[in-house]
Structure 1
Amino acid sequence: MDGCKERAVNYVMERKCKKGGFCFYRLEEPNASDTYYALSILYLLSTNFKDENTLAYLRSLQNNHGSYQSVYSAFYSIKSLLLLNEELKCDPTPYITRNLRIYSVDNLPEENTSIFEPMYYLIDLCFALKIGQYDNFKNDITDFVLNFQKDDRGFGYTRSTLIETSQALVILNLLNYPINILKTEHFIKKCENPIYGFVNVPDTSPSFIEHIYAGAIASNIISYKPCYINQCIEIIRKCQNNNGGFSRAADGGISTLENTYYAIRSLKLLSALKI
């Protein structure tokens, strides 16, 4: 971790916008997701960050009556302000609880990598903000997630994927569901690969950094020590480019703040599991 820390921090800071926020392609066009990933990286690497323009930008993402443009915008904005130990412009509870509902996975945008993504963000926010109202939906949400567990003990829509399994485990864990009875270790083991560390779907290739991240998250939640931790770490290190950021694949590609976050968080989790 020490070898890549300084380079990663420099990569992040070079993408800070003068008017606040961050943008991975280095224009004065800050966006909520890049700002969240940038601040998360700095937090994980114990790097202090204070910037009034960034605070103003994050607060501007919330409307005066407490709503946001989307659940995703709410997540990135709120979580960023919490990372900075700063107050929100106004209480987002009504907006969050209004959106906390069971939805049809058939109507999700095509770019979603997981059927659980909206629920994953909302439950995380409820937990982070200590919003007690989600207890009213606890059983319905639990049933919604469990409905997508497959015979291989993973989770997914048409088939189990490691990304969806990791998000399902995060949601159920936050809801205090006894995840040990799910036996998801069986599926996680199937996703292990001696070359890539983890793949998203068993017996497939190649693998990308978000799959290693999902494997690290899932393994951490169920306290499972992966068989190929060293391979995971090696793949992640190969994803770091000369500019200090991380790409999606070890064989090259553009660095992004999102992929750099996946890399740094994964290295932290895998190092802990390695002990």
Structure 2
Amino acid sequence: MLSEIDLNKVIDFVLKKEKDEGGFGATHLLPPTIEDTYYAVKILYLCEFSLNKNKEKLKNFLLHQNPLELSLKPLAKFSKLLKYLNLLNSLSPQTINIYKNNLRKNLTKSSNNLEKLCFIMEIFEILNENDSTLSIKNFVSNNFSSFNLKSLEAYYYLYKILRNNFPSEFINVILEAQNPDGGFGILKDTTSYMDSTYYACYILYHSNLKPKNLTKLKDFILSCWNSDGGFGRNSQGVSFLESTYHALWILKNFKILKTM
């Protein structure tokens, strides 16, 4: 039987995080952040909620950010939001050039960090810097055995960089990390969390595969759904925008979601 999720409750959970000045925060008391705004927008997209009424405030929030002051993770989310909302042209050519130069400097410092390399590559892709994107892929492809692959998160960033060239021998490591409760731990025989479950499911989905037990996967995700409409990292966790996005993405992409 398909799970039943009331998307109106999920939408309400997200909209309560929207700020008067634009953007979304982790709670109604906290200021808006790039990352919370990114996950809020992605959730609303998955819920097929129109952003037309929110777009001006969202645009105002984003265009008041200084991308040159952002660290790599929020910068990657910021860049994705600009692309998604067709706002990339709002950045001046001078800002984009500084942006690119800073990324190249970061690239030199981040050669042993898969997460940072992934963020840099994603931004270069958005900026159509194909040579830089290719150089990162080639570097990682030739050196992936030197990276610390001790969590599903590390495999996730490796997959996002290598994509079709992701080593097939790692798929079994990912499949084996599913627990009896249906969720995935950071590796086999570790506690299930929503983020680890998302990392595993993302790789499997894009490899045209599925977790071994979809029914238990659904049960784990439903156990994380809270009365406020959001999802926690586990069944005891409070709701966050990030874990809510992860839960909906899995349910939608593996078609185990029935909406009310």
- Give the shorter-chain TM-score range: 0.7 to 0.9
**2:150 maps to which residue?**
160
**2:177 maps to which residue?**
191
Cα RMSD of the aligned pairs, angstroms, is 2.3
TM-score (norm 2): 0.84
Cα 1:125–1:2, aligned 2, differ >3 Å: closer, same or farther? farther
Cα 1:249–1:93, aligned 2, differ >3 Å: closer, same or farther? farther
Q: 1:196 is matched by which residue type in structure 2?
A: G
Cα shift at 1:93: 5.5
Residues 6-33 of structure 1, C-alpha deviations (whole Å, 9 max, x = no match): 1111100111000111012112611111
1:217 is the counterpart of 2:217: no
Among 6, 12, 16, the residue aligned to 1:10? 12
Residues 194 and 246, structure 2, Cα contact 8 Å, conserved in 1: yes
Q: 2:182 is matched by which residue type in structure 1?
A: Y
**1:257 maps to which residue?**
241
**2:141 maps to which residue?**
142
Cα shift at 1:192: 2.1
Cα shift at 1:34: 0.5
TM-score (norm 1): 0.80
More helix by share: 2
Residues 183 and 197, structure 2, Cα contact 8 Å, conserved in 1: yes
Distance 2:253 2:37 in 1: 22
Cα 1:211–1:4, aligned 2, differ >3 Å: closer, same or farther? farther
SS of match in other structure, 1:183:
helix
Q: 1:35 is matched by which residue type in structure 2?
A: T
Residues 117 and 167, structure 1, Cα contact 8 Å, conserved in 2: yes
Residues 224 and 233, structure 2, Cα contact 8 Å, conserved in 1: yes
Residues 185 and 224, structure 1, Cα contact 8 Å, conserved in 2: no
Distance 1:214 1:57 in 2: 29
Residues 9 and 228, structure 2, Cα contact 8 Å, conserved in 1: yes
Residues 186 and 192, structure 2, Cα contact 8 Å, conserved in 1: yes
Cα 1:144–1:62, aligned 2, differ >3 Å: closer, same or farther? farther
Residues 116 and 167, structure 1, Cα contact 8 Å, conserved in 2: yes
Among 91, 104, 115, the residue aligned to 1:117? 115
Distance 1:84 1:147 in 2: 37
Residues 67-115 of structure 1, C-alpha deviations (whole Å, 9 max, x = no match): 232112311212122222333423536524423346265xxxxxxxxx4
Cα shift at 1:124: 2.0
Cα shift at 1:43: 1.4
Distance 1:185 1:145 in 2: 15
Q: 2:217 is matched by which residue type in structure 1?
A: C
Identity %: 25
1:228 is the counterpart of 2:227: no
Cα 1:137–1:124, aligned 2, differ >3 Å: closer, same or farther? closer
**1:133 maps to which residue?**
131
Among 92, 103, 107, the residue aligned to 2:110? 103
Residues 173 and 187, structure 2, Cα contact 8 Å, conserved in 1: no
> What 5-or-longer segments of structure 1 have no aligned partner?
106-114, 149-156
**2:57 maps to which residue?**
53
Residues 182 and 214, structure 2, Cα contact 8 Å, conserved in 1: no
Residues 179 and 192, structure 2, Cα contact 8 Å, conserved in 1: no
Distance 2:150 2:135 in 1: 28
Cα shift at 1:259: 1.1
Residues 217 and 269, structure 1, Cα contact 8 Å, conserved in 2: no
Cα shift at 1:242: 0.8
**1:178 maps to which residue?**
165
**1:266 maps to which residue?**
250
Distance 1:218 1:132 in 2: 23
> What 5-or-longer segments of structure 2 have no aligned partner?
none
Distance 1:56 1:172 in 2: 35
**1:112 maps to which residue?**
none
Cα shift at 1:182: 3.6
